[in-house]
Amino acid sequence: MIIPAAHKLDHINEYYFSRKLKQIAQLRAEGKSIINLGIGNPDQAPSQETIDALVKSAQNPHHHGYQSYVGIPELRQAMSKWYQHTYNVTLDATSEILPLLGSKEGISHISTAFLNPGDKVLVPNPGYPTYSSATYLAGATPIAYDLDEHENWAPDFTNISEETLREAKLIWVNYPNMPTGAKGNIEIFKTLIELAHEFKLLIVNDNPYSLVLNEGAPVSILQIDGAKEVCLELNSLSKSHNLAGARIGMIAGAKEYLETILKVKSNMDSGMYLPVQEAAVAALHNSDEWHAKRNDEYRKRLSLAYAIMDALKCTYDKHQIGMFLWAKIPESYSNVEDLTEKILHEANVFITPGFIFGTKGERYIRISLCSPENDLKLALDRINKL
């Protein structure tokens, strides 16, 4: 290269799944039939009403221009009503909802909007790698706090000094949790909010999984009194409405926070495509029965994921929610990749190694439920033959 890469990239590698998908493509080019059980990419279709709304809007010749940075009023109103129906949380559609081009965009915008070089950010371990990547890209420093596997992956701050808590500016939270499938609960949120008030932290809860295989009432951190003073919440239609490729997300929270984020967002994109917005409005009106049908399909697949984990002699908690199964590998393997690479190259099945989510995931693997039953059955058959 003529010029070197920016120093902020020193701690960032190409996204793990980006690299692994290239490897899988190469193996397939060599004639190997690889079953990918790694990525949470919903393979079911959105509702017919969603598709119809998208098509109808796209056929209007006036619907293909630039759009408002804050989304059409109908979308914000639908998001507000969905929050009320799903979480019993009241949000002002004009000032407390900001539509996004996917919640991953929101992680970046929040980091850019609130972090200065040298700031410290608390990120969960294990946790979504993008929290740390976005922190580095903002010039700040991620500090990992552990999730306690013996307390259903609740936050454990015993490895974080009081000095670090006072220096930190932002904390990333993710309940329902990925990768562990821990549901989280109101008590965890109350404890976090008390911590945020004491140490003047901004909490961001990333909440895209609460409608997937959740037998109880979905929870939002914004249900807690006083949450809006110190909390933002990200949500998404990717997993809950089978719209991952459409890139539809949202930030919910106090007006002042959203106005700050909008300063970044309005300089980074040119609005969401109108047919996608109108499709999102339709999706947000999906019936409870539609969501139940989606979960019925995932539940069938989950039983096969259990069988695969049993075949690998892994241990797991059956109370997980979301579209993944997280399990601990046997002690007979010294390293998680000893298992995942063996399965990839000898059974032609890709399973995600937990180390990509942090040091607390080094003895774990994760199976995605976003593959049809036939693929899961075939994967199980191949693994059993090993």
Is residue 189 within 8 Å of residue 155, measured between CB atoms?
no
Query: So what's the pLDDT on residue 27?
Result: 84
Estimate the share of the chain in helix, then strand, then coil, as percent rounded to the nearest 5.
45, 15, 40
Query: So what's the pLDDT on residue 14?
Result: 75
23 band by pLDDT with thresholds 50, 70 and 90: confident
State mean pLDDT over 180-186.
93
Closest CA to 69 of 263, 279, 280, 245: 263
Closest CA to 68 of 26, 102, 99, 97: 99
The string of DSSP codes covering 327-375 is EEPPTT-SSHHHHHHHHHHHH-EE-EEGGGG-GGGTTEEEEES-S-HHH
Query: So what's the pLDDT on residue 220?
Result: 97
160 band by pLDDT with thresholds 50, 70 and 90: very high
11 band by pLDDT with thresholds 50, 70 and 90: confident
211 band by pLDDT with thresholds 50, 70 and 90: very high
pLDDT tens-digit readout, 99-130 = 999 999 999 999 999 999 999 999 999 999 99
17 band by pLDDT with thresholds 50, 70 and 90: confident
The string of DSSP codes covering 182-247 is ----HHHHHHHHHHHHHHT-EEEEE-S-TTSS--S----GGGSTTHHHHEEEEEESTTTTT-GGG-
Three-class SS of residue 156? strand
**pLDDT greater than 90 at residue 16:** no
**pLDDT greater than 90 at residue 132:** yes
- 249 pairs with which residues across the strands? 100, 236
21 band by pLDDT with thresholds 50, 70 and 90: confident
216 band by pLDDT with thresholds 50, 70 and 90: confident
Q: What domains are defined for the chain?
A: 7-45+288-385 (3.90.1150.10), 49-283 (3.40.640.10)
pLDDT tens-digit readout, 64-85 = 999 999 999 999 999 999 999 9
**pLDDT greater than 80 at residue 13:** no
State mean pLDDT over 344-353.
94
Three-class SS of residue 319? coil
**pLDDT greater than 90 at residue 293:** yes
Query: So what's the pLDDT on residue 386?
Result: 86
Distance CA 304, CA 372 (A): 10
Question: In 65-102, which ranges are continuous DSSP H helix?
Answer: 73-87
